Structure 1
């Protein structure tokens, strides 16, 4: 197989904040003032100001994630309150509380330990809620705008081989996540706010779901692979009791998600990086960085 050069894969559109602000005013009568783009994020977010001077963050996302965010906050996790949710031209948009702090410039051991401690607080948070069907991890079919399979199949021989291994994990283990924990679903340093070394916010709960909180730790470990074994040690301590079956399933999901997204939205250096990280886990040894 040769590299699939120039293929126009579908891309997720970035937030068009001025247009959304105009539409919110049309729909609700509330005129927000755009202050500028918020840092980080793949789809984008914007800082806005209410007529009374309050400062908030405008994003696209699932308005139904609000109750899950509230539940996380009651468990001691710093999350932003949803202040307005609306359907705008077929998209869900959320205006939420602006939390103090900014994404970290670097990841150190104290930050990793704080993230592991926050993950502990997710345990059993949905045990009192009737269980819906298990969360799909899309190992055998496309996800809704992410975890697409065809980009891996066509991009290169290397990505196609990775996809075959992901399919094998899905066929052997299933493609569902079960559990009573609250799962953030995109648990990595880019979705953290920090102020003077202290975590002040865990943001972007758009994918939040019911399942196994260890899924978030596998995601965090994926992101930190290659940055030093000292950063991985606290994560490995929590993952020590996780079954090989679950660990492989979670790793296969984040491998698919990150490689697909980088093929469709980033350059070859990013694709190569995430392929390399993915391969370290699917080789069957996650115990070394």
Structure 2
């Protein structure tokens, strides 16, 4: 499945470049500063309860004066998210909720310090303690509700896979082009694949970062919430399940569970489209590892990308 002309072994370990030559990482959430700014600029009073577990940039638990619990996040930081796009997210999630998708309600969207603060409903449940066959089956089943959910919504632009140009704050080509010969080799593959397919297509609601860290479950393992919908789009729900498959490799999930999910995906997605999905995720993960995690993570995701682009 890999295009010809890229002989570099992207699994081979190499020295990393000077960090100053790479694109800057996204700064972590400063929840206390945002809570203070919301009060100062918008007279919105929130109590900071604690830091939410998981996540790369971060989220915080807050409480409204009437006792409602919420989750505070920051949008912006180069992602290109405007107030209009955030309100579109809120509207689409409200539609999804009416169809039974356990997505949070958006209670506040406010401009603060050059970005936007979002306070969402805090859903019940906790992060899953185990990533097993039952959880994966339930996550696959959860996406079935997304099928055709955005049929007729042609005003919604299909998400780009950013295979030929950098994304807004993620999927940065510059990171791979500056890091080493292995990442430049992967970038060449990604760009070649992008000449054929460049965006998602379809009428499904798609969570673009669908993995166990964005799922909440109750004591029985039933999914009670799917969170972090900042990245969503109108397209193919199987893309979300390929995101999950990539993540299962990082979690070192049971090989039988991983194989079963891969079989479902390959039976449902055309090979050339699946290759584009995998190219996007290889680009996404390697770029993020370069800017936020360091050589060991870069090596891991290069290996994962190589494996998935050749199967």
Is TM more than 0.5 here?
yes
- State the secondary structure of the residue aligned to 1:41: coil
Indicate whether 1:260 and 2:274 are aligned: no
Size of the alignment, in residue pairs?
283
SS state at 1:73 partner: helix
How far apart, in 2, do the equivalents of 1:265 and 1:154 lie?
15
Superposed CA offset, 1:53-94 (max 9, x none): 211110113523111211222221211111111111221111
Deviation digits for residues 200-227 of structure 1 (CA, Å, limit 9, x no counterpart):
1110000111111111011111111352
The answer to whether 1:180 aligns with 2:203 is yes
Measured in 1, the distance between the counterparts of 2:158 and 2:223 equals: 30
Instruction: Assess if the C-alpha contact under 8 Å between 1:214 and 1:239 holds in 2.
Output: no
Written as runs of structure 1 = structure 2, the 5 A alignment for 1:1-289 is: 3-8=15-20, 9=22, 10-61=24-75, 63-64=86-87, 65-171=89-195, 173-196=196-219, 197-225=221-249, 226-232=252-258, 233-234=260-261, 236-283=263-310, 285=311
Report the secondary structure of 2:19's partner residue: coil
Shift of 1:238: 4.5
**Separation of aligned partners in 1, 2:64 and 2:26:** 28
What CA RMSD, in Å, does the superposition of the two structures yield over aligned residues? 1.7
Higher relative contact order (CA 8 A, sep 6+): 2
Q: 1: CA distance between counterparts of 2:103 and 2:305?
A: 30
| Residues 3, 154 of structure 1: 8 Å contact kept | no
Q: 2:132 touches 2:254 (CA, 8 Å); kept in 1?
A: no
Separation of aligned partners in 1, 2:15 and 2:174: 13
**How far off its partner does 1:131 sit?**
3.6
| Structure 1 length-normalised TM | 0.93
- Show structure 2 runs of 5+ residues with no match: 1-7, 9-13, 76-80
Shift, 1:235, TM fit: 5.0
Q: Deviations over 1:175-214 (max 9, x none)?
A: 1111111111001111111222121111000011111111
